[in-house]
Structure 1
Amino acid sequence: MQGFLQFRRRRMPSVAMALFAAAAIGPALAARPAAAQTLRIAMAGETTSADPHNYALGPNTTLSQHIFEALTEIDADLKVAPGLATRWERQDDRTWIFHLREGVRFQNGDSFGAPDVVYSYCRILNNPGEVVQSFSRLVRRIARLEVLDEHTLRLTTKVPEPLLLSDISNLSILPRRLAGEAKPDFNAGESCGVSGPWPTPAQFNDGTAAIGTGPYRLVSYTPGGAIILERNDGYWGTKPDWKTVRLTPVTAAGPRLAGLLAGDQDMIEAPATGDLPRLRQNADFNLANKQTTRLIFIQLDTARSPSPFVQGGDGPNPLQDARVRQALSLAIDRKAIEQRVMDGVATPATQFLPLGMVGTIPDLPVLPYDPAKAKALLAEAGYKDGFSLTFHATNNRYINDARLAQALAQYWNRVGVKVELDTMPSAVFFGRRGKRDFSASMGGWSTDADETMLFFRSWLMSTDRERGLGTSNYGGWSDPKFDDLAGQAMRTMDQPARAELLQQAGRVALEQMPVIPVQFENAVWAFRKDLTYEGRVDQTTNAAEIHPAK
């Protein structure tokens, strides 16, 4: 493990300098009163759009949850709660009745009602700016949407949807006024009977279409720059403490920390793990540490041969062999990574979600580290002398992502796989991944429901655009046995029976290993001592949940 120790030593001087600065800057913190009306948050990632139907990316969700709401919401611990619907009942396995909240107004003063839901779901189906079916895949599972009266909806799915209540928490509601004179009819086909234009992402970015029912309204949005939000004083729910919120993307951990220490930021996301021990000892700051479901994983191209970044894009693709994929997993010492790369702010993976969630396989140990067996499997597959690949990863999206990618590359090199590492900003990475540019890439994903079905449905099932399946299956893996088991689970409303099917599907995926689980992140926030925040499992930052300390 000498390589890891050397890597950390190179990092220490800059960390020490930043924390040394805290001692000099600390007294300046008292200059900002606890009751200040502006909350300044440094985000670890950049938003790509103010359009809530554009891309299901963590920073985008952080922004949209301040402005928009959905029929249901997911609380800080992944439990479904009422949102713009106060209650619901299921008439059969496919039919639901939703009773909508009365007295709610959009930020432009319009009253909220059932036709707004119809318009919003239709707009999701007709959004050419959407990335990788982030939201339309959910709406396409709905067969009919009927307005029974201004505050009652009947929703019928094409097949049983056990996770419907979680799914619709992602579907932000917009005012029907944006349709102009048109009256969208969800049941009139994918165009909803509308021939005119739908709002564009640019109209959300300039604020003209960014109209929701949430606790804040959008004042200004600048791609890559500060986003300004202002409290919606007509909000139907609990009024947030802060009149103004400033969300600023600062993708490098060092500048984020410097902003906090200098008093330019009140809270930062994802401080560097090496800075945490001394931050804990600094009485001017508090930390929130939340165990999350964010899986960090390696996605492999199993569909193409040759593959563009394996063996120089020439010859057979070794990643199509399950023995090679298992070898890459066996080469990784996840426990060592937890301690030496992640400084304890991660949990080594045993499977695709943390133990105890619905569909996880009980009592699985951490995925094994066995480099000798890895070499044997490579030799058995015909790659005794290894092979070459380029490994792509972000360098500003996940906790210690560049360091982690370097560690993974070192492990693979040790078993004979010659790895060239190519890290890049997330804004570049996600666009390229969406085009399936990579052969082996590191990604991250967190669920908004406490069961494995969502990961299986998006990342592992065979891609089927019309059914909204495999929309993030960039590696193109397809396995009939897995698809059958996961497909049965998707149609099973009884949770114990569904859990058994998901466990069987999980065993198939772990045997075939098209996606290699590495670890689950812990989410960490650092903030001024006069604030309180509990953190969220989904790793978003919600200003409405941040309060002045009492």
Structure 2
Amino acid sequence: MSHRLRSPIHRRTALKMAASTGALALAGCLSSDPTAAEMRIGAPWEPNVDPLDGGSTLRRLGITEALLGVDYDANPAPELATDWERLDDRSWQFSLREDVTFHGGDSFDATAAVESLERTLESAAFADLPIETVSADDESTVVVETETPFSPLPAHFSRNEAVILNPSTFDEDGSISEPVSTGPFAVDSFGSGGAVSCVRHDEYHGERPEIESVRYERVEDDQVRRMKLESGELEMARILPLGTVDALESADGIDVHTPEIPRIRFLTFDTTSEPFDDERVRRAVNYAIDLKELTESILEGIDDPAVGPFSQDITEWANPDLEGYGHDPSRARRLLSDAGWASAGGNDVRTRDGETLEIEIPTFDARSLPLIAEVLQSDLSAVGFDVDVRTIEYNAMLEQVSQGSFDAYLTSWGTLYYPDPDRLAELFHSEEATLHHGYENEEVDALLEEARELDDRTERKERYYEVQSIVLEESPVAFLTNYTNVIATAGDVSGYEPHPIESRYGLESITVDDE
């Protein structure tokens, strides 16, 4: 039978597979042992060559590295920089590792780091950050100046877009044709259909991988990924359906991991138009939804109800005093009545001034959202809403809600894709939020702006905790569920530890029994 285990980030184990041998070869410092174990990974994402164009897969595979990484407590951690220091309100110093080489043998130093980072800072991904200059103080020191005090700076330097590439490989226009970095693995080739072949970087500065080569392939269909794993064509299948967990747990030689990650599903309200311009109506929605039943049925009991934007199981930035709404249809009905939406009794749709309480909820086909939308439709109908659910393309949904007034839309976001709670500004700041709720609260804005400047972690926490309390009460969004990944590995794979924000697979710590 499968092996099962739990961890603080809700990991379960179980999956089946045979190991495979073979290797790829690169010249110079890259390994070429043709008999060592190979790791084959299947996931739904297409890898891109340029980290500025969605290059997260390269980071996860251990090809690219940044000045900072993210540790297993979801905090910034040393990577190419051994440590960092805030010199004053607007100055930061990063001390770099010595004796680091790029794939191919060129030396890494502060000059190379600065040239690579300048390319990052000129990109759209970093356009809104208040970074003024980045410079090399000496061969092993990088200094960054910001326009305003900006505490989240280290977290942003851990992002995928901020990885350090060998500047000598840049084209004249700043583009790149191959990603040459410093990680434990180096690209051998990009194949058709979203495949990448990698080999071990034997001059790597850190833990030397046992795995000799890695092959990543894009496999869009969930069931195909599972079948490839079970048939011995993959050692790791990522992002499998929640409904497969029980079957995989009962299989021989299979390990299934179910780590909770900092992602939530939530309903975003248009707080500027009826009916959700009234806080009472937004709160009524929260009380009407049975999150416990939703997570137990639709989400197989694997995902948990969300109380706020962050989970306490992942980060200390989560306000520990939040309690959520709970399922209370009677209270939902009272709030709707208080807001003037009268009921004729039974399950009739409520009315006010001759208008019915009709709402439309668009969503998109991913992360179980259409199934969740059906539950919302049922729960809200039970308290007097007439709900029309529409599943459309993601971009079409965003275009619709950005064009003018709407009712609400159902979506999912990563809330710590860089490890700092300043991400809350992108959710709730009246001028910086990229959600389309139209929510404005001067106190929330002030708290977010103060926390961004403060250096003391405790003082920052107090402000972010208060923001979480306010937005839970005023409900520009309805927090629905936390999010769990399902990752399956072959039984002969050892040492895999799911990362809390998915920034790395940790392949340098994995072994594959190739006997």
TM-score by length of 2: 0.81
Match of 1:363 in 2: 321
- Aligned equivalents of 1:540, 1:153: Cα separation in 2: 23
User: Does the 8 Å CA contact 1:78/1:448 hold for their aligned counterparts?
Assistant: no
User: Does the 8 Å CA contact 1:446/1:538 hold for their aligned counterparts?
Assistant: no
- Aligned equivalents of 1:123, 1:496: Cα separation in 2: 34
* Larger fraction in helix: 1
Match of 2:5 in 1: none
- Aligned equivalents of 1:515, 1:50: Cα separation in 2: 36
Match of 1:46 in 2: 45
1:62 to 49, 57, 67: 57
Secondary structure at the aligned position of 2:157 is classed as: helix
CA 1:434 to 1:538, structure 2 compared with 1: closer, same or farther past 3 Å? Answer: farther
User: Does the 8 Å CA contact 2:133/2:146 hold for their aligned counterparts?
Assistant: yes
- Aligned equivalents of 1:419, 1:51: Cα separation in 2: 42
Match of 1:407 in 2: 375
The AA in structure 2 aligned to 1:96 is W
The AA in structure 1 aligned to 2:361 is F
- Aligned equivalents of 1:42, 1:415: Cα separation in 2: 44
Match of 2:361 in 1: 391
Deviation, structure 1 residue 31: 7.5
Match of 1:311 in 2: none
Deviation, structure 1 residue 359: 4.5
- Aligned equivalents of 1:122, 1:493: Cα separation in 2: 25
Is 2:385 the partner of 1:421?
no
Is 2:88 the partner of 1:97?
no
- Aligned equivalents of 2:77, 2:503: Cα separation in 1: 17
1:104-503 correspondence to structure 2 within 5 Å: 104-127=100-123, 130=124, 133=125, 135-137=126-128, 140-170=129-159, 171-178=162-169, 197-199=173-175, 203=176, 208-221=177-190, 225-302=194-271, 316-355=273-312, 357-383=315-341, 384-385=350-351, 387-396=357-366, 398=367, 400-423=368-391, 428-429=393-394, 433=398, 437=402, 439-448=408-417, 453-463=421-431, 469-470=432-433, 472-503=434-465
What's the C-alpha RMSD, in Å, of the aligned pairs? 3.0
Match of 2:512 in 1: 548
Deviation, structure 1 residue 499: 1.6
- Aligned equivalents of 2:150, 2:394: Cα separation in 1: 32
CA 1:417 to 1:224, structure 2 compared with 1: closer, same or farther past 3 Å? Answer: farther
**Greater shift in the superposed pair: 480-489 or 236-245:** 236-245
Deviation, structure 1 residue 264: 2.0
- Aligned equivalents of 2:286, 2:96: Cα separation in 1: 48
The AA in structure 1 aligned to 2:156 is D
Deviation, structure 1 residue 285: 0.5
The AA in structure 2 aligned to 1:266 is E
Match of 1:535 in 2: 498
The AA in structure 2 aligned to 1:340 is S
**CA deviation map 1:247-278 (0-9, x unaligned):** 23334432222222222222112332232223
Deviation, structure 1 residue 449: 6.3
- Aligned equivalents of 1:41, 1:91: Cα separation in 2: 42
CA 1:42 to 1:382, structure 2 compared with 1: closer, same or farther past 3 Å? Answer: farther
Deviation, structure 1 residue 84: 1.0
**CA deviation map 1:406-438 (0-9, x unaligned):** 3233323333333333335xxx52585378558
- Aligned equivalents of 2:504, 2:113: Cα separation in 1: 26
Match of 2:471 in 1: 509
**CA deviation map 1:451-474 (0-9, x unaligned):** 6x23312221133xxxxx43x334
Greater relative contact order (CA < 8 Å, ≥ 6 in sequence): 2
- Aligned equivalents of 1:405, 1:548: Cα separation in 2: 41
- Aligned equivalents of 1:46, 1:432: Cα separation in 2: 21
User: Does the 8 Å CA contact 1:351/1:367 hold for their aligned counterparts?
Assistant: no
- Aligned equivalents of 2:47, 2:339: Cα separation in 1: 42
CA 1:540 to 1:404, structure 2 compared with 1: closer, same or farther past 3 Å? Answer: farther
**CA deviation map 1:22-55 (0-9, x unaligned):** xxx97xx557469863322121x32373321234
CA 1:264 to 1:403, structure 2 compared with 1: closer, same or farther past 3 Å? Answer: farther
- Aligned equivalents of 2:362, 2:386: Cα separation in 1: 14
CA 1:416 to 1:120, structure 2 compared with 1: closer, same or farther past 3 Å? Answer: farther
Secondary structure at the aligned position of 1:405 is classed as: helix
**CA deviation map 1:280-311 (0-9, x unaligned):** 222221122323322222223335xxxxxxxx
Match of 1:11 in 2: none
CA 1:163 to 1:282, structure 2 compared with 1: closer, same or farther past 3 Å? Answer: same
User: Does the 8 Å CA contact 1:375/1:415 hold for their aligned counterparts?
Assistant: yes
- Aligned equivalents of 2:292, 2:148: Cα separation in 1: 41
The AA in structure 1 aligned to 2:41 is I
Deviation, structure 1 residue 528: 0.9
Deviation, structure 1 residue 173: 1.4
Deviation, structure 1 residue 483: 0.4
Deviation, structure 1 residue 103: 1.9
- Aligned equivalents of 2:375, 2:38: Cα separation in 1: 40
1:30-45 correspondence to structure 2 within 5 Å: 32=20, 37-43=37-43, 45=44
- Aligned equivalents of 1:389, 1:123: Cα separation in 2: 45
Unaligned runs of 5+ in 2: 1-14, 23-34, 342-349
User: Does the 8 Å CA contact 1:106/1:212 hold for their aligned counterparts?
Assistant: yes
- Aligned equivalents of 2:510, 2:360: Cα separation in 1: 42
- Aligned equivalents of 2:210, 2:395: Cα separation in 1: 34
User: Does the 8 Å CA contact 1:88/1:97 hold for their aligned counterparts?
Assistant: yes
Match of 1:19 in 2: none
- Aligned equivalents of 2:389, 2:135: Cα separation in 1: 51
Secondary structure at the aligned position of 1:91 is classed as: strand
CA 1:490 to 1:349, structure 2 compared with 1: closer, same or farther past 3 Å? Answer: same
- Aligned equivalents of 1:108, 1:435: Cα separation in 2: 48
User: Does the 8 Å CA contact 1:302/1:320 hold for their aligned counterparts?
Assistant: yes
- Aligned equivalents of 1:379, 1:198: Cα separation in 2: 60
User: Does the 8 Å CA contact 1:77/1:536 hold for their aligned counterparts?
Assistant: no
CA 1:485 to 1:281, structure 2 compared with 1: closer, same or farther past 3 Å? Answer: same
- State the identity as a percent: 27
- Aligned equivalents of 1:422, 1:49: Cα separation in 2: 31
Report how many residues are paired: 466
Secondary structure at the aligned position of 2:319 is classed as: coil
User: Does the 8 Å CA contact 1:100/1:152 hold for their aligned counterparts?
Assistant: yes
**Greater shift in the superposed pair: 474-483 or 217-226:** 217-226
Secondary structure at the aligned position of 1:422 is classed as: strand
User: Does the 8 Å CA contact 1:166/1:448 hold for their aligned counterparts?
Assistant: no
**CA deviation map 1:357-392 (0-9, x unaligned):** 444333332432222322333344344335334433
Deviation, structure 1 residue 72: 0.9
- Aligned equivalents of 1:388, 1:224: Cα separation in 2: 44
**Greater shift in the superposed pair: 413-422 or 527-536:** 413-422
